[in-house]
Structure 1
Amino acid sequence: MPSTLFASPMPVLAFLVGVLGIVFWLSRIGPLAPIFKFLPPVIWAYFVPMLATTFGIIPADSVVYDWMSTYLLPFSLFLLMMTVDLKAILRLGPLALGMMLAGTLGIVIGGPLTFAVFGGFFEDPVAWKGFAALSGSWIGGTANLVAMKQSFGTPDSTLAPLLVVDVVAGYGWMGILIVLSSYQQTFDRWVGADTSAVEKMNQRMTDDSTKRPITIEQLAMIVGLGLVAAVGSRQLGGLFPALGDPTIISASTWAILLVVTIGLLLSFTPLRRLEDVGASRVGYVALYLLLTSIGAKANLQAVLDVPLYLAAGAFWIAIHVVVLLIAARLLRAPLFFVATGSMANVGGAASAPIVAGVYSPALAPVGLLMGVAGYILGIYAAFGCGVLIQQVALWL
């Protein structure tokens, strides 16, 4: 094994944090904005460490990666759930939630159907675990991908080609949605959409108040709560029995379900007001930092397997799109809800605001709310999708 430039834990951690900081700094530079519009910072947060590992800058295996996987995921999920405004999501109306649920249904149906068509061609005997993890990414985003990876025990080698599919198919579809924003009126006329709800939300979100600067005391409380939840969920999860043979709900799964459920319950308490000072942003930082560790463990050799995986991913997205179009026609939903509902699933809270902002700049926060709703659904719906994919794999 060749030596690396950085090997001990602290230099490796510093490198990953530095990469994340530089990526987000570059994304705020005006001339580079078009690049980061189509390839968001989360993509670079994965690929830059992967390239660093490939060229021997950092190791492919490190205790840092294990620690980040164990604690940063529940830390970020807890803060995202604790600060979610469920009432605000419900105020989006049945049309918005209906389209988001239609997008979720398309992914849940598409997963097992895709594996039924393509599963027999994969050489990897546990390829289904990679698709189960990908279902998490496509119902909520990166946090749920990592959650499903841990829940189903997906090996890094199995996940690697699916991460490429996630980028190419998932963000390729986002690019198509951005292009389609120029045809909103045509689409809305085709489905006979009522756009009054979009206009009302546009006015409401324009009048929304801004966040307050964070204080040291508030930041200490946010970090403290997140760390206690992360460690506590891991400890409590180990007390619950594993379910299924092969195991479906492990100690890691119990920990994730516990931290999400407790976070949601606390969102009905005054603790949710920590979002006024940006508590969820602390969660996102932990989430993106975790993504850098996943990239650092990836192997570029997986790209050789990409053609077949990409075909499967495109097929899966196509099923998702068909279900969305049927729902849009039945519900007479504007293209704004179709695009935002789709990206709330496939891209999550990192991408849904981008697409929403393209369709209506003042409504980017609506995309964020729908993306957060996707996070909530993804923990449960993606797990169900993964179980269905597992059953198809056993049948094959």
Structure 2
Amino acid sequence: MEHKEVFLTNDAVIFGILMILLALIFKTSALKTPFWKKFYTYIPVILLSYFLPSLLNTFGLVDAEASQLYFVASRFLLPACLVLLTLSIDLKEIFKLGPKALIMFFAATIGVIVGGPLAILIMSYISPDAVGGIGPDAVWRGMSTIAGSWIGGGANQAAMYEVFKPSDELYSVSITVDVIVAEIWMAILLLGIGRKEQINKFFKADNSSIATLRDKMEAYSLSIAKIPNVTDLMMILGIGFGITGLAHAGADWIAPAIANGMPELSKFSLDSKFFWIIVLATTFGIAVSFTKLREYEGAGASKIGTVFIFILVATIGMKMDVLAIFENPGFFAVGLIWMAFHAIIMIVAARLSHAPFFFLAVGSKANIGGAASAPVLAAAFHPSLAPVGVLLAVMGYALGTYGAWLCGLLMQIAAQN
């Protein structure tokens, strides 16, 4: 694959810039001056952590596709942070959250499956060329790969690429639409966190179970809090990265075994190594939470996990080109209409089930973003809530290919009418 000419090609330099940006964001967010207090009232820290790195790609300073930073962050830091964030979790309290989390998760899946063909139907009346094309250049083929990403993740997207075989050029445009439209929705959800009380009031939602989980985790952290020494920090990193290594080892064995011995399970992405890395890291992290190692939360385990999350966020943001939307306005319009249907179904489901905004946001991102985004968004509510996002995202990976395949077939029918 050819890569564009860029100003910065050294990942060490790019990583240094990302860390400086994150440091400046957190430093200014901690200032008590009226300007910065008002600024961060409307612009969440995590949203800025996405947007500022995206400018590096938008203005051609870096080539995000050539950089290995996202790969390292998603394969090393993400599983490690999942371990550290689940280290002190109270699994019984998570189960007490009730069925509304699952209701909102499946509403999000239905929103993607139904929204795709409806978006094509609408655009076929407004601008038929935007949803036209024949053979490998048929727009619906490219959109099927977006469905894979929006019901699961990258592995599901790659599976749809193999199933429906869009042209490479169309696939490239689809990825751009996928990333930017998904990040616009992410920005809206993050802005909603600052208004969650008003939103919950509109949904007539009972937020008590989530507040109880958050308060219990905070109380536990305070009860074991200590000033960490070097040994504590090394133990925390040893737990996080040691289990990450174990998860990779397990994934290296399980994924090929399923691909070779039970290929029919590939439609559920069960032959994806990344899927198993996330599942095993989360499982081992929960297992460790039943041991005395959970007391390392008092030395800052979740804080280190949160640092890893924000590094991951910065590398995700670096992949986004905010000007690309002007290059393919028709295709982006389809994506925006599609996301609008998803959002409407989520809002209606939350209103009918009286689900709190937390379940709407995390249920949506467990589909649209998967394990790389759902725990990030959940942690934006509170770090102790990240495992809820992880558990739902794992379901998204398992169902993503099947749901996207169905959505692809419906979009094909819609495009032919």
Q: Which amino acid aligns with 2:79?
A: P
Would you say 1:55 and 2:56 are equivalent positions? no
Tell me the secondary structure at the aligned position of residue 109 of structure 1: helix
Gaps of 5+ in 1: 137-147, 329-336, 356-364
User: How far apart, CA to CA, are the structure 2 residues paired with 1:123 and 1:231?
Assistant: 40
Alpha-carbon contact 1:156-1:298 (below 8 Å) kept: no
Aligned counterpart for 1:326 among listed residues 347, 352, 355: 352
Give, as a single letter, the amino acid of the residue that structure 2 aligns with 1:391: L
Give deviations 1:228-285, integer Å, cap 9, x for gaps: 2223322331222224466823222222222222222222222222222331222222
Instruction: Give the corresponding residue for 1:281.
Output: 303
Work out which of the residue numbers 50, 74, 79 in structure 1 matches 2:79. Answer: 74
Q: Partners in 2 of 1:217 and 1:198 — Cα distance?
A: 33
Shift, 1:316, TM fit: 0.3
For 2:207 and 2:23, how far apart are their aligned partners in 1?
A: 39
Report if the CA contact (8 A) 2:58-2:322 is conserved: yes
Aligned pairs for 1:256-295 within 5 A: 256-295=278-317
Q: Which amino acid aligns with 1:105?
A: F
* Structure-1 residue corresponding to 2:168: none
Closer/same/farther in 2, CA of residues 270 and 257 from structure 1, 3 Å limit: same
State the 1:82 CA deviation. Answer: 3.1
Identify the match of residue 233 of structure 1 among 230, 243, 247.
247
Corresponding residue for residue 11 of structure 2: 9
1:182-233 Cα offsets, whole Å, 9 max, x none, are: 5877865xxxx88987998899789776243332212111112222222332
Which position in structure 2 is the counterpart of 1:308? 334
Q: Percent identity of the aligned residues?
A: 21
Contact 1:129 1:386 (C-alpha < 8 Å) held by counterparts: no
- Aligned partners of 1:165, 1:254: CA distance in 2, in Å? 27
C-alpha distance in 1 between matches for 2:93 and 2:55: 40
Task: Note the residue ranges of structure 2 that are not aligned, 5 or more in a row.
Answer: 122-130, 132-137, 162-170, 366-373, 413-417
1:372 pairs with 2:349 = no
Aligned residues: 358
**AA in 2 matched with 1:345:** G
Secondary structure of the residue aligned to 2:246 is helix
Partner of 2:181: 165
- Cα gap change, 1:222 to 1:394, in 2 (>3 Å): farther
Whole-angstrom distance in 2 between the partners of 1:156 and 1:219: 42
What is the SS of the residue equivalent to 1:10? helix
Aligned residue for 1:237, secondary structure, equals: helix
Cα deviation 1:58-96 (Å, max 9, x = unaligned): 333223443333322222222223332213334xx4xx4
Match of 1:115 in 2: 116
Once the two structures are superposed, the pairs formed by residues 49-198 of structure 1 within 5 Å of their partners are 49-60=53-64, 61-90=66-95, 93=96, 96-118=97-119, 121=131, 123=139, 125-135=141-151, 148-150=153-155, 152-153=157-158, 158-173=174-189, 175=191, 179=195, 181-182=197-198, 188=204
Aligned to 1:24: 26
Question: Are the structure 2 counterparts of residues 352 and 39 from structure 1 closer, same or farther at C-alpha, using a change threshold of 3 Å?
Answer: farther
SS in 2 for 1:97: coil
Letter in 1 for 2:14: V
**TM-score normalized with structure 2 length:** 0.72
Residues 180 and 321, structure 2, Cα contact 8 Å, conserved in 1: no
Instruction: Provide the rounded CA distance (Å) in 1 between the counterparts of 2:101 and 2:274.
Output: 27
What residue identity is the alignment partner of 2:392? L
Letter in 1 for 2:182: D
Shift in CA distance, 26/275, structure 1 to aligned 2, threshold 3 Å:
same
Other-structure match for 2:46 = 42
The residue type equivalent to 2:94 in the other structure is I
Q: Contact (CA 8 Å) 2:101, 2:359: kept in 1 or not?
A: yes
Does residue 212 (structure 1) correspond to residue 230 (structure 2)? The answer is no
Over residues 70-128 of structure 1, what are the superposed CA-to-partner deviations in whole Å (9 max), with x where a residue is unaligned? 322222222223332213334xx4xx433333222211222212223236748373433
Q: Which residue of 2 aligns with 1:333?
A: none
Distance 1:206 1:291 in 2: 24
C-alpha displacement at 1:313, in angstroms?
0.9
Shift of 1:323: 1.5
Given that 1:237 and 1:251 are in contact with CA atoms closer than 8 Å, whether structure 2 keeps it comes out as yes
In the aligned structure 1, how far is the partner of 2:360 from the partner of 2:181?
17
**CA shift in 2, pair 1:391/1:41, >3 Å:** same
2:61, 2:207 → 1: CA distance? Answer: 52
What is the alpha-carbon distance in structure 2 between the residues aligned to residue 129 and residue 21 of structure 1?
A: 35
Query: Residues of 2 paired with 1:221 and 1:156: CA distance?
Result: 42
Whether 1:338 and 2:352 are equivalent positions in the alignment is no
- What's the counterpart of residue 384 of structure 1? 399
Q: Distance in 1 between matches of 2:215 and 2:322?
A: 47
Aligned equivalents of 1:158, 1:282: Cα separation in 2 = 35
CA distance in 2 between partners of 1:80 and 1:392 (Å) = 34
Task: Sort the Cα spacing of 1:262 and 1:309 in 2 relative to 1 into closer, same or farther, 3 A.
Answer: same
Give the superposition deviation at 1:52.
1.1
Q: Deviations over 1:110-164 (max 9, x none)?
A: 221222323674837343333433345xxxxxxxxxxx22564487864443333
